[in-house]
Amino acid sequence: MINVAVTGASGRMGKTLVQALNDAEDLRLGAAFEAPGHESVGTDAGDLAGVGNLGVAISDDITSQAEQFDVVIDFTVPAATLALASICRANGKGMVVGTTGFTDEELAELHGAADDIALFMAPNMSVGVNLTFKLIEIAAKALGDSVDVEVMEVHHRHKIDAPSGTAVRMGEVLADALDRDLESDAIYGRQGITGARNRKTIGFSTLRGGDIVGEHTVMFAGEGERIEITHRAGSRMNFAQGALRAVRHIHEEPPGLYDMQQLLDL
């Protein structure tokens, strides 16, 4: 049995992870965490997630609970993830990270943890999304510079980073396949007299509203035809199930950086 901790346990994703762990036969919730002072601290994580009392009270002290878990799943914010990584390195605990919005410096710091622990990172834990990445790569290589490429994403009103980590990853896939530099070729929205489009650009459009779980589309627009590759998430449970697969993938693996492409052999 693999003991798993969940950070942000009172949030939408945290509750979904607790529900998924409760249904798994080979995994169990060993610990649950929230930010210091959060109103849910001390509440049973199972009760909060609607699956009944699990005997796991939400804590704000990760260090004191380190012996209660083998791997932690983290969908929070970059500052919290980096602090968690430091504790996991000190205690030899694996990490599955779905947090997005890191700066390059923060990402480099987090990747450093992989020197000492098994660190699984993915901007999107959905198996379907990661298959979509592969389809985008295939299409981009086949179409080359004969089309314009746009990345469009829609999320709920509470999402704090834009474009989403998944959209950025789609842009990276496009840039690699088309031999472009995302840092210089990306266009994040347009306004005013922009002039004719430069074929080398990779466009991003972001929408926020309501309770939309997540939608991503890459459009390849050519002369006389258009190809669109779309993934729509209707529930957070697909992200949770992907995260559980990641836990199984890195449990008892040596220190290193792991991702969904390795897990799915893509």
Catalytic-role residue among 15, 93, 155, 231: 155
- Token pair for 6: 């969940």
Closest C-alpha among 79, 74, 56, 65 to residue 14: 74
Q: How many CB atoms lie within 10 A of CB 112?
A: 13
Catalytic pick from 38, 111, 159, 200? 159
Residue 155 is a catalytic residue: yes
Sheet order of strands, 27-33 included: 58-59, 27-33, 2-7, 71-74, 94-97, 118-121, 256-258
CA-to-CA distance for 109 and 143, rounded, in angstroms? 36
Q: In angstroms, what CA-CA distances link 234 with 14, 153, 193? A: 17, 14, 37
Could you give the CA distance from residue 123 to residue 262 in angstroms, rounded to a whole number?
A: 14
Separation between Cα atoms, residue 231 and residue 239, nearest integer Å: 13
On whether the CB atoms of residues 33 and 62 are closer than 8 A, the answer is yes
Q: What angle do CA 38, 164, 226 make, to 5 degrees?
A: 155
* Catalytic positions: 155, 159
